[in-house]
Chain A
């Protein structure tokens, strides 16, 4: 996606007094010069543990812990979401779908298709998601697929792992800012993309 600097007058309208426009213009120039701040990966959303002596975890451990936390969050979310759905059996109180993102199979899984329904942001700032997927080949026992958040075509954070048999609905969670990102599916432990979305 392009990042052409926006026009200040277009941003704020034509009814801004000259003095204020000049002041806003200086901030505008600073924003353009600074460029975008980076997004924090999920495993760095919280500060390092800081009770008593502090030690830095090697990133591999951070990622392991993050993956474990994501798996636990996934399980908890799935249970909670389903419980809520069961409680509201009429469907009236189910979370609102904010938008849907189609996902296509790559050459490695040409028959796979999926749709990710991104639900309304929850109170904790997470994006609950329900992914309906079909056409993924069955995996050997013990192996799973993995959904990733992507940025610039790179896998940047795991959203959880799942089994897929026939048409499968998977409940996941994305505790990330989604602008400029997409999703991809791999086999767990592999970097080969089997499915991917375009950037949202």
Chain B
């Protein structure tokens, strides 16, 4: 199966999904599955329901990608809105019907600070998925495993200098990705 280049924009992928392109759908899933699950966990606080919301989000994406209008904005916010609607639906009911896609962005429930925090997590987690695996691994170990740099080096069996180089490279790459999205 042809792999979709990571350089393809989210919006392009969504448009291709709208034409029934399965490989684009898989690429989109690879980029957004963890951010969607993270958003759902943050909102629902329950792993099982969050996993349901993840499935429903991508079912809705497959079904409604053809309605995506690139001139109305980039792909990530559109997918964020689809995910948020699926999560809200899952929070209201345990019905199995997939969520419908939004016509426009839904109004964010809850305090603005929570919405901002959720959006930041979404952006950061989405950006992490764009890093090369060796850089993402180092970053995740450095920030969320509790390991020191020396312990990360030992764990990965690479020199300490390589850990620092990869960390710096990963942060710089993330800065580039996030600055583009912030424009």
Give A residues with C-beta under 8 Å from B: 1-6, 10-13, 16, 20, 23-24, 26-28, 30-41, 44, 46-48, 50-51, 54-59, 62, 179-180
Contact = CB atoms under 8 A, between A and B. Distances in A.
B172 interface: yes
A44 B124 contact: no
Given A1-B145, A36-B144, A59-B52, A24 B175 contact: yes
Given A11-B149, A24-B168, 5 more contacts: A4-B146, A13-B168, A31-B174, A40-B34, A62-B55
B25 interface: yes
Nearest to B86: A56
A26 B128 CA distance: 15
Contacts of A58: 96
Contact of A179 (B141, B149, B175): B141
Interface residues of B, number: 48
Interface string B119-138: 01101110010000000000
B35 interface: yes
Given A30-B124, A33-B120, A47-B58, A56 B96 contact: yes
B85 interface: no
A55 B125 CA distance: 26
A50 B59 CA distance: 8
The 4 closest A-B pairs by CB, nearest first: A47-B29, A34-B124, A36-B144, A37-B125
B58 A35 contact: no
Nearest to B157: A98
A6 to B, nearest CB: 5
B55 A56 contact: yes
Interface centre among A4, A10, A44 (most CB of B within 10 A): A44
A37 B38 contact: yes
Contacts of B22: 50-51
Contact of B37 (A3, A23, A38): A38
Given A12-B168, A12-B171, A38-B37, A6 B178 contact: no
B146 A1 contact: yes
B56 A24 contact: no
B175 A44 contact: no
Residue of A10, A39, A40, A55 contacting most chain B CB atoms (<10 Å):
A40
B166 to A, nearest CB: 10
B164 A11 contact: yes
Contacts of B28: 47
Contacts of B120: 30, 33-34
B83 interface: no
A16 B168 contact: yes
30 contacts: A1-B146, A2-B146, A3-B143, A3-B144, A4-B146, A11-B149, A11-B164, A12-B167, A12-B168, A16-B168, A24-B168, A24-B171, A26-B175, A27-B174, A31-B124, A31-B143, A33-B117, A34-B120, A36-B140, A38-B38, A39-B34, A47-B33, A54-B59, A54-B63, A54-B98, A56-B52, A56-B96, A58-B96, A59-B48, A179-B140
